[in-house]
Structure 1
Amino acid sequence: MHTSERQTMRGYCALAAAASIWGGMYVVSKYTLDFIPPFTLLWLRYVTAFITLYPLAARQKTVPLTRSDHRAFIAVGFVGYFVSVGLQFIGTRLSSAHNGAILTSASPVFILLFAWLMLGERLIPRKLFSVLLASIGVIIVVGWDTTATGSRVLAGNLALIGAAVTWALLSVLARKFSASLSPLVITTGAIFWATLMTTPAMVIEWRFLPVSGLGNPVLWGAVLYLGVVSTAGAFYLWNKGMSLVEAGSGSVFFFLQPVVGALLGWLVLGEHLSLSFFVGGGVILLAVLIVSYRRA
């Protein structure tokens, strides 16, 4: 296997791991959001993640950061970690863990578009077919397995779609900035700025949404998991993967989220799954295999 092929395979493995972690994150978030409101939980996630990543990033970054570096951190932190993840938490609170994993998986469609517009990546048939096939898999699951209704769920679903669009923009920005900065440094710097941006929203939120269950050790275990694994670990893996492969090809791995998220939602939360989940999940996995296939 050539060096470039090994690099691509490493990127695919990193992206698959990140997407699988995030698929499980919706189940943990759904439990935690019953006690801690969205932006307060987001702030706790980012503080935990920054404490985890900063010693590693400081050791790796031996030259001073420039203004351009900080602009990159602010862009990634605002678009991806403040707006997108904030919308994910709001949407998951109002909707369900199942819908959270499914609807945000629309991101790859927008990643292809942004990668074409901002990075000049070609819209080759294999990428387009893989995204189309995976989108059909999502439609199968959503179209045949949607049981929740009401304005609250609708608002949550719209927030989740907004999260998908902004996460696509984040993914392309991470790919763009990785030319001059390591994924670890980008992730750490962006989380720092996202923490600052989240603080005012958290304080305003306290006026309307109470915090409860702080004496529950299981709740704090969930917060640590969200901060260390789902934020520090998965954000780094996603940015690392995006630095090793084309954004359009890597985007398809985002579709692994609904497979893991819906399955864990069924196992842990008792959310309903029908045969359509397994049919749609199989179609999504086939799309991932197609985009990963490299002819000799």
Structure 2
Amino acid sequence: MLVTAIAPAVWGSTYLVTTELLPPGRPLLAGVLRALPAGLLLIALTRTLPKGSWWWRSLVLGALNIGAFLALLFIAAYRLPGGVAATVGAVQPLIAAGLSAALLGDRLTLRTVLSGIAGIAGVSLLVLRASARLDAVGVAAALGGAVVMATGVVLAKRWTSPAPLLATTGWQLTAGGLLLVPVALVVEGAPPSHLSAANLLGYGYLSLIGAAVTYALWFRGIRALPPTSVAFLGLLSPVVATALGWLALGQDLSPLQALGAVVVLGSLLAAQTQRPRPAAAPAAATAPEPAAATGPELRSAGEALRENA
């Protein structure tokens, strides 16, 4: 769980890297250069291509987890203040919990629902401002981004690839990056002809650390953990982004924001520390009549019964 948490924590640095190192007004280009080179690198390292149904499954997962998610995130970011977009996106754990119950048969508990509501409240305290305005298209895009990401997490749990983890990660990053290429060209036009050393450093960080490493850790966590637990870890991103803005950019941190961070961390811990539902005791099998037991055997049987009780 702690290793999986590294991924959303690193993703929280995206805002800082974007504002300080990347050219302005090119979020879709950043998405392409973040996903596609990382995916191609992982495919080259593993030398493994999809087989059979994993061609279309990789396309679907790549679209949900990367391509469609980043495109919707771009629309929400342009039409909404960042606080509104982050608050709407915080509904993702609740959506993942509902999809897990419907598609995977997981139990949807009251504790999960309350933790999800607390997470939304904490993020709103952390990033939402009183002057924030609402836009129907922007809210729909932010909600759509939460839905596609939650769906991608649940489907990645349901569709467990027999291929190595790095290969599966590479397929999804490549598929998502390729889907973003035409969208970026239509919306933003051709890439800039000149990139500074700072731009190259920023794109390199987002691709190698922010995609190749973090998505491998993320998908590893999906294989090992319940999808709802993984989705709750995503709430770390706005917490880290706010902390880095305060530490590195000198942004103000109000008491309400600090309270919001505490509420987010509390909801995350509450969701992760649920006790698993005890399995039902198997029905006793019909067995032949046992032979008469001796004294020592009776004592051993009595001790065993006490231990089981």
TM, length-normalised to structure 1:
0.81
Task: Give the whole-Å Cα distance in 2 for the aligned partners of 1:288 and 1:205.
Answer: 36
Q: Which runs of 5+ in 2 are unaligned?
A: 277-309
Residue pair 1:30, 1:97 contacting (<8 A) in 2 also: no
Shift of 1:188: 0.8
Change in CA separation of 1:283 and 1:240 when aligned onto 2, cut-off 3 Å: same
| Residue of structure 2 in register with 1:21 after alignment | 10
Q: After the TM superposition, which of the residue ranges 174-183 and 72-81 deviates more from structure 2?
A: 174-183
Kindly indicate whether residue 36 of structure 2 is the aligned counterpart of residue 47 of structure 1: yes
Q: Percent identity?
A: 24
Task: Give the whole-Å Cα distance in 1 for the aligned partners of 2:248 and 2:137.
Answer: 24
Q: After the TM superposition, which of the residue ranges 40-49 and 132-141 deviates more from structure 2?
A: 132-141
Residue pair 2:62, 2:172 contacting (<8 A) in 1 also: yes
Change in CA separation of 1:108 and 1:294 when aligned onto 2, cut-off 3 Å: closer
Kindly indicate whether residue 229 of structure 2 is the aligned counterpart of residue 260 of structure 1: no
2:71 aligned partner, one-letter code: G
Residue pair 2:68, 2:176 contacting (<8 A) in 1 also: no
Change in CA separation of 1:161 and 1:27 when aligned onto 2, cut-off 3 Å: farther
Shift of 1:191: 1.6
Kindly indicate whether residue 172 of structure 2 is the aligned counterpart of residue 190 of structure 1: yes
TM, length-normalised to structure 2:
0.78
Shift of 1:142: 4.8
Query: Which is higher, the Rg of structure 1 or of structure 2?
Result: 2
| Residue of structure 2 in register with 1:168 after alignment | 150
| Residue of structure 2 in register with 1:221 after alignment | 201
Residue pair 1:15, 1:254 contacting (<8 A) in 2 also: no
Structure 1 segments of 4+ aligned residues over 6 angstroms from their partners:
none
Residue pair 1:140, 1:280 contacting (<8 A) in 2 also: yes
| Residue of structure 2 in register with 1:249 after alignment | 229
- The count of residues paired between Structure 1 and Structure 2 equals 276
Shift of 1:294: 6.1
What secondary structure is seen at the aligned counterpart in 2 of 1:121? coil
Residue pair 2:21, 2:198 contacting (<8 A) in 1 also: no
| Residue of structure 2 in register with 1:284 after alignment | 264
Q: Which has the higher helix share?
A: 1
Task: Give the whole-Å Cα distance in 2 for the aligned partners of 1:32 and 1:102.
Answer: 26
Task: Give the whole-Å Cα distance in 2 for the aligned partners of 1:22 and 1:99.
Answer: 18
Task: Give the whole-Å Cα distance in 2 for the aligned partners of 1:232 and 1:138.
Answer: 27
Deviations for 1:181-200, whole angstroms, at most 9, x for unmatched residues?
44322211112222322222
| Residue of structure 1 in register with 2:89 after alignment | 104
Change in CA separation of 1:126 and 1:148 when aligned onto 2, cut-off 3 Å: closer
Mapping 1:63-82, distance limit 5 Å:
65-82=50-67
RMSD: 2.8
Task: Give the whole-Å Cα distance in 2 for the aligned partners of 1:262 and 1:97.
Answer: 11
Residue pair 1:82, 1:197 contacting (<8 A) in 2 also: yes
Residue pair 2:22, 2:203 contacting (<8 A) in 1 also: no
Change in CA separation of 1:282 and 1:196 when aligned onto 2, cut-off 3 Å: same
Change in CA separation of 1:294 and 1:123 when aligned onto 2, cut-off 3 Å: closer
Task: Give the whole-Å Cα distance in 2 for the aligned partners of 1:38 and 1:166.
Answer: 19
Q: Which one of the candidate residues 115, 138, 148 is aligned to 1:130?
A: 115
